[in-house]
Every structure is written in C-alpha cells, then in structure tokens.
Amino acid sequence: MTDKRDQLEALAMENAQRCGMSGMSFRTLADEVGIKSSSVHYYFPEKSDLARALIERYSDDFFAALDKIENSNWNLRRKVKAFIAIFEDVARNKKLCLCGMMAAEVEQLDDHNRSLLEQYFKNIEKWLVKLLEDNHQDVRTELPPRLIAKTLLAGLEGALLLDRVAGDMQRIKAQKELFLSLIE
C-alpha cells in the first residue's frame, strides 16, 4: 500500500488526463479513495497545490523516460521512435498529456503553475535539440534542430487532442511517419 498522498495524486492524474481540470475535484478524489474532501485538504491545502504536484509528477516521470532513452546506445532513429512511443502510450489509453490538457485550460492556473508548464515544454524541446545535434549525421533535412523539435512536440500534442476526438490514432501515426522520414 502506497501512502495516501501518493494514492490521491495517482487518481487525480488519471482523472485529469481523461476529464480535464474538472476531473480532479477534491470531492471526487475523496470519494474514490474513501475519505472526506476536507481530508484531501490536509494533503493539498489548495487546489493549486494539487495541480502543482501533478505537473511535477508528470514532468518527473517524463524526463525519467527521456533519461532512459538518452542513456541507451540506440541510434537516432530508434531514440526518436522511443520518444514518440511515450505519446503513443498516452493515446492508446485514451488519455491526454497532462500538460497539454492544462495548456488548454491555462487560465485556471496560477502564475507559478503556468511557468512550470512553460518549462516542461521548453525542456522537452531542449532535450530534442540536443539529441538532434548530437546525431546531426543521421538527420536528413537542412531544417535546424530547434525547428524540428518544436514541430515534433507541438504536432504530437495536437495529435493527441484530435485523435481522442476521432477515437483513433491516425494523426499520431502520421506525425511519426513524417518525422521518421526526416531521419536516416
């Protein structure tokens, strides 16, 4: 049994990725773990504390996955495939990226959480740029790494959004094909 705070975070994460910010109400969470909503406030005094915990948790998990990819001895193509596979996993589970979802409802976040969100996207792009620069010999296009990083990430986030509405994975698949075509 994990501790209750962790349990609450995990549940809130599920709900948020499926139902947006409205899916992480203190009452719903309380019901699901079998306590009262006032007790949830013990762990997360304000809603923004919960939102922050989720962004940090999602971000930590994501960059842990990137670390694994970075420390492998795979070639660029396989590394990019592994990067895209993180998003394919989200799509397969009919979820959204937590941060993509929050980006759509950013007006509900306080300044600190907004800047966490901004950093999340920037750091992913930074990681991608480094990956592409370190393997420039395997990149088939003249387009700068910064541009490839930005369009790859934005396209994956958009694909998650649109594919969930359509109930398929066509756009994420297309995005994968397009960017793999730019790599040896």
Partner DNA sequence: GTCTATATACAGATAGAC
Partner DNA sequence: GTCTATCTGTATATAGAC
User: What is the closest distance, in whole angstroms, from the C-beta atom of residue 158 to DNA in the complex?
Assistant: 26
- For DNA, give the closer residue by CB, 24 or 172: 24
Among 7, 11, 23, 65, contact with a second copy (rule: CB under 8 A): 23
Phi, psi (degrees; rounded to nearest 5) at 6: -65, -40
Closest CA to 36 of 14, 4, 64, 59: 4
Q: Establish if 158 lies at the interface with a second copy (CB under 8 A).
A: yes
Q: Establish if 75 lies at the interface with a second copy (CB under 8 A).
A: no
Distance of CA 108 to the CA centre of its chain: 18
**Region at 91 (left for phi over 0; alpha for psi -120 to 50; beta for the rest):** alpha
User: What is the closest distance, in whole angstroms, from the C-beta atom of residue 169 to a second copy in the complex?
Assistant: 11
Cβ neighbours, 10 Å, residue 170:
12
- For a second copy, give the closer residue by CB, 43 or 50: 50
101 contact partners, CB below 8 Å, separation of at least 6: 16, 17, 20, 21
List of residues contacting a second copy (CB under 8 A): 18-20, 22-23, 96, 100-101, 103-108, 114, 117-118, 121-122, 141, 143, 146-148, 150-151, 153-159, 161-162, 164-166, 170-171, 174-175, 177-178, 181
